[in-house]
Amino acid sequence: MSSDSGGKAADGVPTIIVKGGTSRGSYDREVQRRKADAEHRRQKQDAMYRRRDHARQHGDIARIGETSLLNQSSPRLVLNYLNADGSLRQQCKSEITVVPKKDRPNEWETVFALVCPRCLERGLPAGESQMLVRDSHRKFDIDERKKGTVIMLDYAWGYREPVVIAGTVTCHDVIRCSNYNCNYAVRIEDSKVIEV
């Protein structure tokens, strides 16, 4: 179900998701279409990265641009997903964005996204596995005492990326994944994502 559809499927019939139930064929087709589209875009991006890396190895381009996005005009968070024992499971980068409110376009709200690992494990594309946290729905604070700190983000495939953070985030409410048949719920304290 798209957030633009207002809770209705393409044929105008409301989409109702019952925990433990089955999904409609139109919903399943839409998920498959989005999955194929995301895979196509990932392949294009991977090809772009391969061309860039090849050019770097052969000295065809200067090594610029690696820090061009690392400034305060593009605020970011690094979210640390924790295991049950408190050890670090993985890190994810999240951008903080200000968008107009859907019901009042003249007013603005702050938004950041985090990824549901359960949905990723079930095979949903990353774009479908995101949980948007809006300050109009969930109260959160960004502690700017660590603003400007560079964190080396370690990806699962071995790539390291420096990220300048805008601070750490604490959400005062439980955040739940709204995807079909998913019961993932977390709280966030000082950018630590803790499953509840």
Give dist(CA 76, CA 163) in Å, integer. 8
The pTM assigned to this predicted structure is: 0.63
125 DSSP 8-state letter: -
Stated as kind and residue range, the H or E segment containing 52 is helix 25-57
Q: What local confidence, expressed as pLDDT, does residue 187 receive?
A: 94
pLDDT tens for each residue of 75-90: 899 999 998 899 998 8
pLDDT of residue 87: 92
Q: Can you spell out the DSSP letters for 143-196?
A: EGGGTT-EEEEE-TTS-EEEEE---EEEESS-EE--STT---EEEEETTEEEE-
Domain extents for the chain?
3-57, 76-195
pLDDT over 80 (residue 72) = no
Mean pLDDT of the chain: 80
**Interval 95-106: pLDDT, tens:** 888 888 888 888
Tokens for 173, please give them: 């409410």
